[in-house]
Chains A and B, each alone.
Chain A
């Protein structure tokens, strides 16, 4: 079993976590077109290499970010969403 280091709960078995998709900034809902929304919702970079993505600690519903290598299957780093550069809502860990 792989261990994932949750920023809130510490090291836990990876079976306690749910993968939540690639980390992207959201297009502005008021000004974006339907095409842009479709792309945001359905399309992915699906990169081979180091990526940043959302994970959730399922029992505590805590969402955070992880840096992972999608070729070697290594978890490199985990951190609260508030630390993301140019990230989502500032100071909001959820």
Chain B
């Protein structure tokens, strides 16, 4: 590698490497059609090609690659959830993230800087203790820490007891990380396309043909495509696309907003979140503070940003980090998130035989991209869901077997 770099450095011209093949003619038939080219859709295609040799695959994307929530999230990666099913699943994803840059030969800028969640009440301490126990039992680095440790981890944090919600303790998750979200989708898309998968942008699925409980074709703005298997990975549009196949989902689409300040010198190392004040924050390697919080108060298919949310996030982070009162905001944005009643995703089989669901990712699905891609690809290849995603099937709601991650998700993502 160093020699390659040297050779490249001494070259007179620096030819750009194409990320992926440009869209070609849409064929009449594909073995597998994946709807949505976010991290999830491209991830499934990548693992299908890499591990299962299935390459007659089209990813259909109504806009451009990674234009959905993949480009809008705050890139938090963590596995300190509460349920056994959740922790086990996200733990595998966090592991996979560690080797993605090497695997892609493309830097996803993985940064393992840890995550600190703040407790401002006795009830929060109790639930953190519970989470720490479950996490440690399942091999995840997660522990309850006192005020002194918090001071050492985050010296810039306001630790006064003279505030509305004094900080009592914290849940420290050393495995917490961030990565460049766009790079994840690009890496998967490039890896999939170099193995023969076709990515068709500006190709919107408008209807789905179902005959006798099986999908036979999808109709797009560029014509009809017959297909052997269809997977939907469309996040905020989950209910709309599923309805085309006659499937109703336990999902409401809510906007989630975030914002970012201008860059500053390095001040804040880990990611810090406070379910009490409904805000979380980390500083990127470029120096910007990324700030996020809870969902909008009502469902909406719209990515407008609101003054209400900006005020609420600004006042919350100023309580934690008073020096931010001087900070200037550069951008504020939103994504449409597919929220489930139990804050866990929906992966696996659907009532339509050859139609698979990758949905219900709400405000927490970026961190699941690698493991979801890998396990969903196995489902497509074998027809049966791997054990690790089995509990997340749609049928769980009919059995009243929700996987409750509401508390472990609030303002943490």
Contact = CB atoms under 8 A, between A and B. Distances in A.
Interface stretch (B6-14, B294-302, B403-411): B294-302
Interface in A1-43: 1, 14-15, 18-19, 34-35, 38-39, 42-43
B249 A43 contact: yes
Interface stretch (B141-149, B250-258, B320-328): B250-258
B301 A39 contact: no
A73 interface: yes
B49 to A, nearest CB: 32
B239 A46 contact: yes
B239 A44 contact: yes
Interface of A: 1, 14-15, 18-19, 34-35, 38-39, 42-48, 68, 70-73
B299 A43 contact: no
Contacts of A48: 240, 253, 301
A39 B302 contact: no
A39 B400 CA distance: 10
Contacts of B251: 44, 46
Interface of B: 239-240, 248-253, 297-302, 304, 307-308, 341, 397-400
A70 B252 CA distance: 11
Nearest to B307: A1
A38 B299 contact: no
A44 B249 contact: yes
A70 B300 contact: yes
B248 A1 contact: no
Contact of A45 (B248, B297, B308): B248
B391 to A, nearest CB: 16
A43 B297 CA distance: 19
B341 A1 contact: no
A77 to B, nearest CB: 16
A19 B398 contact: no
B74 to A, nearest CB: 23
B299 A19 contact: yes
